[in-house]
Structure 1
Protein backbone atom coordinates (compact mmCIF):
# COMPACT_ATOMS: atom_id res chain seq x y z
CA UNK A 1 0.00 0.00 0.00
CA UNK A 2 1.44 3.33 -1.10
CA UNK A 3 0.57 6.90 -0.18
CA UNK A 4 -1.63 9.05 -2.40
CA UNK A 5 -0.93 12.51 -3.76
CA UNK A 6 -4.41 14.03 -3.47
CA UNK A 7 -5.71 15.43 -0.21
CA UNK A 8 -8.95 13.50 -0.07
CA UNK A 9 -11.79 14.95 1.99
CA UNK A 10 -13.04 12.32 4.42
CA UNK A 11 -16.65 11.89 3.29
CA UNK A 12 -17.58 8.63 5.04
CA UNK A 13 -18.16 8.31 8.77
CA UNK A 14 -19.32 5.65 11.24
CA UNK A 15 -22.66 4.13 10.26
CA UNK A 16 -22.54 5.16 6.59
CA UNK A 17 -24.02 2.62 4.16
CA UNK A 18 -21.83 1.74 1.17
CA UNK A 19 -22.61 -0.22 -1.96
CA UNK A 20 -20.47 -3.31 -2.48
CA UNK A 21 -19.05 -2.95 -5.98
CA UNK A 22 -17.70 -6.49 -6.44
CA UNK A 23 -19.23 -9.91 -7.05
CA UNK A 24 -18.69 -11.47 -3.62
CA UNK A 25 -22.40 -11.71 -2.76
CA UNK A 26 -22.56 -8.71 -0.42
CA UNK A 27 -24.71 -5.80 -1.59
CA UNK A 28 -24.81 -3.21 1.23
CA UNK A 29 -21.99 -2.59 3.70
CA UNK A 30 -21.96 -0.46 6.85
CA UNK A 31 -18.84 1.46 7.88
CA UNK A 32 -17.70 0.33 11.33
CA UNK A 33 -14.19 1.72 11.73
CA UNK A 34 -11.13 2.93 9.83
CA UNK A 35 -7.83 1.08 9.80
CA UNK A 36 -4.70 3.13 10.52
CA UNK A 37 -6.79 6.13 11.62
CA UNK A 38 -5.19 8.57 14.07
CA UNK A 39 -7.31 11.28 15.63
CA UNK A 40 -8.31 13.09 18.76
CA UNK A 41 -9.63 10.97 21.62
CA UNK A 42 -13.34 10.06 21.34
CA UNK A 43 -13.66 11.51 17.82
CA UNK A 44 -15.72 9.40 15.42
CA UNK A 45 -13.57 7.75 12.74
CA UNK A 46 -13.86 9.05 9.19
CA UNK A 47 -12.54 7.71 5.89
CA UNK A 48 -12.20 8.76 2.27
CA UNK A 49 -11.20 7.39 -1.12
CA UNK A 50 -8.53 4.64 -0.98
CA UNK A 51 -8.76 4.17 2.79
CA UNK A 52 -8.81 0.66 4.21
CA UNK A 53 -11.84 0.24 6.50
CA UNK A 54 -13.74 -2.33 8.55
CA UNK A 55 -17.30 -2.99 7.39
CA UNK A 56 -20.28 -5.10 8.38
CA UNK A 57 -22.35 -6.76 5.65
CA UNK A 58 -25.99 -5.60 6.00
CA UNK A 59 -27.57 -6.99 2.81
CA UNK A 60 -26.52 -9.81 0.53
CA UNK A 61 -26.29 -13.60 0.45
CA UNK A 62 -27.32 -15.31 3.70
CA UNK A 63 -23.80 -16.65 4.29
CA UNK A 64 -22.30 -13.15 3.84
CA UNK A 65 -24.72 -11.32 6.15
CA UNK A 66 -23.50 -10.11 9.56
CA UNK A 67 -19.84 -10.75 8.73
CA UNK A 68 -17.25 -8.14 9.69
CA UNK A 69 -14.69 -7.76 6.89
CA UNK A 70 -12.05 -5.38 5.54
CA UNK A 71 -12.79 -3.18 2.53
CA UNK A 72 -11.30 -0.39 0.42
CA UNK A 73 -13.34 2.69 -0.52
CA UNK A 74 -13.36 3.19 -4.31
CA UNK A 75 -16.06 5.91 -4.68
CA UNK A 76 -17.54 8.64 -2.46
CA UNK A 77 -20.27 11.23 -2.94
CA UNK A 78 -18.35 13.95 -1.14
CA UNK A 79 -16.34 16.06 -3.56
CA UNK A 80 -12.55 16.03 -3.23
CA UNK A 81 -9.76 17.89 -5.01
CA UNK A 82 -6.86 16.46 -7.01
CA UNK A 83 -3.43 18.18 -7.14
CA UNK A 84 -4.06 19.47 -10.68
CA UNK A 85 -7.12 21.42 -9.45
CA UNK A 86 -9.76 18.98 -10.73
CA UNK A 87 -12.65 18.32 -8.37
CA UNK A 88 -14.03 14.77 -8.38
CA UNK A 89 -17.39 13.53 -7.13
CA UNK A 90 -19.20 10.22 -7.69
CA UNK A 91 -22.91 9.32 -7.64
CA UNK A 92 -22.65 6.86 -4.74
CA UNK A 93 -20.45 5.58 -1.94
CA UNK A 94 -18.91 2.22 -2.82
CA UNK A 95 -16.31 -0.18 -1.47
CA UNK A 96 -14.63 -3.45 -2.46
CA UNK A 97 -14.02 -6.30 -0.01
CA UNK A 98 -10.35 -7.22 0.46
CA UNK A 99 -8.40 -9.74 2.54
CA UNK A 100 -5.37 -9.23 4.80
CA UNK A 101 -2.98 -9.26 1.81
CA UNK A 102 -5.04 -6.43 0.21
CA UNK A 103 -6.25 -8.64 -2.64
CA UNK A 104 -9.87 -8.34 -3.73
CA UNK A 105 -12.22 -11.14 -2.69
CA UNK A 106 -14.29 -10.75 -5.86
CA UNK A 107 -13.10 -11.23 -9.42
CA UNK A 108 -14.62 -8.12 -11.00
CA UNK A 109 -15.59 -4.60 -9.93
CA UNK A 110 -18.79 -2.94 -11.17
CA UNK A 111 -18.65 0.75 -12.01
CA UNK A 112 -15.78 3.24 -11.99
CA UNK A 113 -12.88 3.20 -9.55
CA UNK A 114 -11.12 6.38 -8.38
CA UNK A 115 -7.58 6.82 -9.66
CA UNK A 116 -6.32 7.30 -6.09
CA UNK A 117 -7.61 3.87 -5.02
CA UNK A 118 -6.16 2.23 -8.14
CA UNK A 119 -2.71 3.75 -7.49
CA UNK A 120 -2.67 2.71 -3.85
CA UNK A 121 -4.04 -0.82 -4.30
CA UNK A 122 -2.74 -2.46 -7.52
CA UNK A 123 -4.90 -5.59 -7.06
CA UNK A 124 -8.02 -3.40 -7.02
CA UNK A 125 -6.82 -1.70 -10.22
CA UNK A 126 -6.35 -5.04 -11.99
CA UNK A 127 -9.95 -6.09 -11.22
CA UNK A 128 -11.43 -2.70 -12.26
CA UNK A 129 -13.07 -2.20 -15.64
CA UNK A 130 -12.97 1.62 -15.55
CA UNK A 131 -10.58 3.94 -13.69
CA UNK A 132 -11.45 7.64 -13.38
Structure 2
Protein backbone atom coordinates (compact mmCIF):
# COMPACT_ATOMS: atom_id res chain seq x y z
CA UNK A 1 0.00 0.00 0.00
CA UNK A 2 2.70 2.41 -1.04
CA UNK A 3 0.48 4.71 -3.05
CA UNK A 4 -2.30 6.74 -1.49
CA UNK A 5 -5.80 6.25 -2.87
CA UNK A 6 -7.44 9.42 -4.14
CA UNK A 7 -10.85 9.46 -2.51
CA UNK A 8 -12.66 12.53 -3.78
CA UNK A 9 -11.95 15.15 -6.39
CA UNK A 10 -13.60 18.50 -6.82
CA UNK A 11 -17.28 18.45 -5.81
CA UNK A 12 -18.10 21.87 -7.25
CA UNK A 13 -20.92 21.93 -9.76
CA UNK A 14 -21.91 18.28 -9.40
CA UNK A 15 -25.51 17.29 -8.89
CA UNK A 16 -26.36 14.52 -6.44
CA UNK A 17 -26.62 11.35 -8.51
CA UNK A 18 -26.42 8.40 -6.11
CA UNK A 19 -27.10 8.70 -2.42
CA UNK A 20 -27.35 6.52 0.67
CA UNK A 21 -29.42 3.37 0.14
CA UNK A 22 -29.25 3.60 -3.65
CA UNK A 23 -29.30 0.14 -5.23
CA UNK A 24 -26.68 -0.35 -7.96
CA UNK A 25 -25.51 -3.19 -10.21
CA UNK A 26 -22.10 -4.79 -9.74
CA UNK A 27 -20.21 -4.57 -13.05
CA UNK A 28 -17.44 -7.10 -12.36
CA UNK A 29 -17.17 -10.84 -11.81
CA UNK A 30 -16.40 -10.71 -8.09
CA UNK A 31 -19.59 -12.62 -7.23
CA UNK A 32 -22.00 -9.79 -6.46
CA UNK A 33 -24.95 -8.91 -8.69
CA UNK A 34 -26.69 -6.10 -6.80
CA UNK A 35 -25.38 -3.81 -4.08
CA UNK A 36 -26.63 -0.97 -1.88
CA UNK A 37 -24.58 2.15 -1.17
CA UNK A 38 -24.19 2.55 2.59
CA UNK A 39 -21.45 5.19 2.74
CA UNK A 40 -19.47 7.70 0.70
CA UNK A 41 -15.75 8.01 1.40
CA UNK A 42 -14.48 11.53 1.92
CA UNK A 43 -17.92 13.14 2.05
CA UNK A 44 -18.02 15.99 4.52
CA UNK A 45 -21.56 17.26 4.61
CA UNK A 46 -24.00 19.09 6.82
CA UNK A 47 -26.02 17.64 9.68
CA UNK A 48 -29.00 15.62 8.38
CA UNK A 49 -27.91 16.01 4.75
CA UNK A 50 -27.86 12.72 2.87
CA UNK A 51 -24.39 11.96 1.44
CA UNK A 52 -24.20 11.63 -2.34
CA UNK A 53 -21.69 10.28 -4.82
CA UNK A 54 -21.00 10.65 -8.54
CA UNK A 55 -18.91 8.97 -11.23
CA UNK A 56 -15.47 7.74 -10.08
CA UNK A 57 -16.21 8.23 -6.36
CA UNK A 58 -15.33 5.53 -3.85
CA UNK A 59 -18.28 4.27 -1.81
CA UNK A 60 -18.97 1.56 0.75
CA UNK A 61 -21.49 -1.01 -0.50
CA UNK A 62 -23.36 -3.91 1.01
CA UNK A 63 -23.95 -6.83 -1.37
CA UNK A 64 -27.66 -7.70 -1.54
CA UNK A 65 -27.71 -10.31 -4.33
CA UNK A 66 -24.92 -12.60 -5.45
CA UNK A 67 -22.99 -15.70 -4.47
CA UNK A 68 -23.21 -16.84 -0.83
CA UNK A 69 -19.52 -15.98 -0.27
CA UNK A 70 -20.04 -12.25 -0.86
CA UNK A 71 -23.68 -11.75 0.17
CA UNK A 72 -24.32 -9.73 3.36
CA UNK A 73 -20.77 -8.36 3.34
CA UNK A 74 -19.43 -4.84 3.02
CA UNK A 75 -16.89 -3.81 0.38
CA UNK A 76 -15.36 -0.69 -1.07
CA UNK A 77 -16.49 0.09 -4.60
CA UNK A 78 -16.03 2.69 -7.34
CA UNK A 79 -18.95 4.09 -9.31
CA UNK A 80 -18.34 3.51 -13.04
CA UNK A 81 -21.80 4.28 -14.52
CA UNK A 82 -24.69 6.52 -13.48
CA UNK A 83 -28.10 7.12 -15.01
CA UNK A 84 -28.29 10.79 -14.13
CA UNK A 85 -26.86 12.95 -16.94
CA UNK A 86 -23.70 14.88 -16.12
CA UNK A 87 -21.74 17.47 -18.05
CA UNK A 88 -18.16 17.03 -19.19
CA UNK A 89 -15.74 19.98 -19.44
CA UNK A 90 -16.02 19.98 -23.25
CA UNK A 91 -19.77 20.65 -22.97
CA UNK A 92 -21.15 17.21 -23.81
CA UNK A 93 -23.74 15.55 -21.60
CA UNK A 94 -23.51 11.84 -20.90
CA UNK A 95 -25.66 9.30 -19.07
CA UNK A 96 -25.71 5.51 -18.93
CA UNK A 97 -28.43 2.89 -18.94
CA UNK A 98 -27.87 1.83 -15.33
CA UNK A 99 -26.03 2.64 -12.12
CA UNK A 100 -23.04 0.34 -11.67
CA UNK A 101 -20.03 -0.12 -9.38
CA UNK A 102 -16.81 -2.14 -9.44
CA UNK A 103 -15.77 -3.74 -6.14
CA UNK A 104 -12.20 -2.94 -5.09
CA UNK A 105 -9.79 -4.11 -2.41
CA UNK A 106 -8.53 -1.68 0.28
CA UNK A 107 -5.40 -0.98 -1.81
CA UNK A 108 -7.47 0.12 -4.82
CA UNK A 109 -7.13 -2.95 -7.05
CA UNK A 110 -10.32 -4.51 -8.47
CA UNK A 111 -11.56 -7.66 -6.76
CA UNK A 112 -12.74 -9.25 -10.02
CA UNK A 113 -10.82 -10.05 -13.18
CA UNK A 114 -13.14 -8.46 -15.76
CA UNK A 115 -15.50 -5.49 -15.96
CA UNK A 116 -18.76 -5.98 -17.85
CA UNK A 117 -20.18 -3.15 -19.92
CA UNK A 118 -18.84 0.34 -20.61
CA UNK A 119 -17.26 2.56 -17.97
CA UNK A 120 -17.00 6.33 -17.89
CA UNK A 121 -13.81 8.07 -18.96
CA UNK A 122 -13.73 9.94 -15.64
CA UNK A 123 -13.58 6.65 -13.74
CA UNK A 124 -10.94 5.28 -16.11
CA UNK A 125 -8.67 8.31 -15.63
CA UNK A 126 -8.99 8.26 -11.85
CA UNK A 127 -8.74 4.46 -11.44
CA UNK A 128 -6.33 3.12 -14.13
CA UNK A 129 -6.37 -0.43 -12.73
CA UNK A 130 -10.13 -0.61 -13.35
CA UNK A 131 -9.66 0.86 -16.83
CA UNK A 132 -7.21 -1.89 -17.73
CA UNK A 133 -9.92 -4.52 -17.10
CA UNK A 134 -12.70 -2.66 -18.95
CA UNK A 135 -13.78 -3.66 -22.44
CA UNK A 136 -15.12 -0.22 -23.38
CA UNK A 137 -14.36 3.27 -22.05
CA UNK A 138 -16.91 5.94 -23.00
TM interval, shorter chain, is: over 0.9
- Count of aligned residue pairs for this structure pair: 132
> Structure 2 vs 1, CA of residues 111 and 8 (structure 1 numbering), >3 Å: closer, same or farther?
farther
4+ residue stretches of structure 1 with deviation over 4 A? none
Q: CA deviation at 1:56?
A: 0.1
Unaligned segments of structure 1, at least 5 residues: none
Structure 2: state its 5+ residue gaps: 1-5
| TM-score of the two chains, using structure 1 as the length reference | 0.94
Question: TM-score under structure 2 normalisation?
Answer: 0.90
Deviation at 1:10, TM superposition (A): 2.7
CA distance in 2, matches of 1:8, 1:70: 22
Q: Is the 8 A contact 1:108 1:127 kept in 2?
A: yes
- Does 1 or 2 have the higher relative contact order (CA < 8 Å, sep 6+)? 1
**3-state SS in 2 of match to 1:19:** strand
RMSD: 1.7
Q: Give the counterpart of 1:38 among 21, 41, 44.
A: 44
